[in-house]
A and B are shown apart, each in its own frame.
Chain A
Amino acid sequence: MHKRTFLKFSALAAATVLSIPLMAYAQNATLKIGFVGVTSGPAAAWGISNQRSMEARAAWLNELGGVKIGDKTYNIEIVAFDDQKDPKRAIAGMEKMAQDGIHYVVGPNVDDGAAAVRPVAEQNGIMYFPYSFPKALFTPPASNAILGMVANYQSGPAIYKYLMENKGVKKVAFVAANESDPLSQRESGIEAAQALGLEVVSGNVTYQVDTTDFTPVLLPVIQAAPDLLVLSGVSPANAPQLIRSARELGYTGLISTETAQDAAVLQEGAGDLADGFISVGGASTPELASDTMNEFVERYTKMFGEYNDESNTKVYALEYIIETLKANPAAIDNVEEYKKTMDTFEAPNPFMKGDAKLTYVGMTSFGQKRQVSVPLVVNEYKGGKFETLFVGQVD
């Protein structure tokens, strides 16, 4: 064989071999999964951790050849929409998802956005996974929303009870931003605290989200001398400043929240003053994390430069959607089929060690299974990182 002919033949063969996986990749159908949430402004961290978790997991699954649902293999495409924490934008986002023929949407991240998109989702056959807690979204007759995390009225009582029994907490004070989510979380927190027999010594102090000095905000709260200061629905941006101001005002009691926080942000914003701060963590700890979870963290970090602890929870929604569709392929464009499957659905949980399962829960809180089952991890911040205080489960 001439050298030139040999080179041509080799090049052709190599191109053919190399193009086989690409052809397989290209031949896969596309399954679009939506995300409508906040990826700009002060609460951007909440939505960005959602979007990036979905994108990192989708890229990984696509790299593995796609997802087999029924007799077809799909590549996952994430269609994202920034609602800017504005309910009107959230509605526009959900309408866009409907126009794109998307039936499964993760988000929105806040109460008013989640409530606003409900009619659009119900009219257009969309199941959505909000990260907000109004019970009306998850209790009958509502049936299209699935809570993507543990609600504050589930985690709050567990935290207060633990602190009463282990730290002797008797008096509690609540501080919240003047926004719908923190205010509703404060109300349910006060209700839970009173039900447990705690004395609420301050429960009406609020602050603007753009507050730059929390000293005047916290002064009357600290003067009420609580054993526990609850930062209801506090965003990762405000938490370090509030902790720092409280400590600088001489407060030595406990501080907690039912929202997820970021250890690096606490370290930079409050340093050692944040030691002992109790928060709900992402749904994973080193003791719980499987190899898949650890690889997810690696891939996420490689893709986006920095991991967000919240993604330990946010990684789950996409997994639940895909696994439920695998369990009932007819649900791919029919959410009524999806709803039927939810009651009995069970699949291995790839992100936890052992024989943990993905199942839908929520019977106690909502009277129907409209919540993903993720571990309730309660953390304590110490020396720049979170340590697991206790792990619970929602039924």
Chain B
Amino acid sequence: MEQIIANGLYLGAQYALIALGLTLIFSLMNVLNFAHGQMYVFGGFVTYTVVVQLGLPFVVGLFASALALAVMGAAIEKFLFAPVVRRSKRDESTMLLAAGVAFFLDAVILLFFGEKQRGVPKVVNGVFNWDMRIIMPYDRILIGVLAVLLIVAFIVFMNYSRSGRAMRALAQDRTAAQLMGVDVSRYSMLGFALGAMLAGLVGGLLVTITGVNLGMGGPTSIKAFLMIMIGGAGVISGAIAGGFILGMMESVGLTVLSAYGDITYLAIFASLMVFLAVRPQGLMGKPWG
């Protein structure tokens, strides 16, 4: 049981961080960013390039991923999403654009980083073993702790910084925020950059554990959407809750249901369908959006 909880918490921390970026972008711009998974993959490849190919420290790789994705996010928002949001009132326009960006990023990743699985050597060696009740490699513990610290830093930034408060105001009521003097286009771009940066950071963190490959983008996006559906789209606390709930469900399912074959995600999807029928706005979302 202890092992299941430890696995669930570790998975939950990384999932929550992935979901945070997605929900931030959704809350600010009402954009479902289907390219979020590809941004995560891109971040992983940037860290890989810096650490393995350039031989620089892992921390430098993480910073490079954060910076590269923040710049990419800002550029995508400014030159692609902002004009489309300005000109089109239809939600599907941004959805199609996001899907297009996802395909584009897949092609860019293939072109620059190739088709192979890549990985960064372990940043910490050794395995924590508590009497065979909890077995957890130290690098996973480190990545889990870093993920939690990043989540805390994000919450602090959103609650106590001027930019964070401006973005929260924007998420709550775009028109009211604009009337109060919030620079909508600036903070939309900042929010998108921050969301993309979070995706890049998780990619950079997890490349040491899971490695990274071209095909990880789509499934990562799907899991991220799953999390924000559970927690409530556009709500930061909901994304965190959704991440930890999905991580725990996965951990419990893979252990308890393993004897019946690979039905963990079948059970998760079935539960989600029932849950959404009862509470379509998710745990912490508002029914009116």
Contacts and interface: CB of A to CB of B under 8 A. Distances in A.
A204 B262 CA distance: 9
B135 A269 contact: no
A240 B119 contact: yes
B211 A241 contact: yes
Contacts of B115: 39-40, 44-45, 48
A206 B129 contact: no
22 contacts: A40-B110, A42-B214, A42-B216, A44-B115, A44-B215, A45-B115, A45-B117, A204-B258, A204-B259, A207-B254, A208-B219, A210-B216, A210-B220, A212-B14, A212-B209, A216-B3, A216-B251, A216-B255, A248-B127, A268-B120, A271-B121, A306-B114
Interface centre among B218, B223, B254 (most CB of A within 10 A): B254
Nearest to B120: A268
Contact of A249 (B11, B135, B261): B135
Interface of A: 39-45, 48, 178, 204-210, 212-213, 215-217, 219-220, 236-237, 240-241, 248-250, 262, 264-265, 268-271, 305-306, 308
Pick the 6 closest A-B CB pairs, nearest first: A210-B219, A42-B215, A269-B119, A206-B262, A41-B215, A178-B262
Given A241-B210, A268-B211, A213 B11 contact: yes
B261 to A, nearest CB: 6
Interface centre among A207, A212, A219 (most CB of B within 10 A): A212
B164 to A, nearest CB: 29
A388 to B, nearest CB: 22
A216 B250 contact: yes
Nearest to A177: B262
A210 B258 CA distance: 17
Nearest to A217: B254
Interface residues of B, number: 47
Interface of B: 3-4, 7, 10-11, 14, 48, 52, 106, 110, 114-122, 127, 129, 135-137, 140, 206, 209-211, 213-216, 218-220, 223, 250-251, 254-255, 258-259, 261-262, 264-265
A159 B216 CA distance: 31
A45 B213 CA distance: 10
Nearest to B7: A216
A14 B207 CA distance: 55
A240 B210 CA distance: 8
B252 to A, nearest CB: 9
Contacts of A207: 254, 262
Contacts of A271: 121-122
Given A206-B262, A248-B127, A42 B11 contact: no
A219 B1 CA distance: 12
Nearest to B137: A248
A268 B135 contact: no
Given A204-B261, A216-B250, A248-B137, A268 B110 contact: no
Contacts of B259: 204, 220
Contacts of B255: 216, 219-220
A269 B211 contact: yes
B219 A265 contact: no
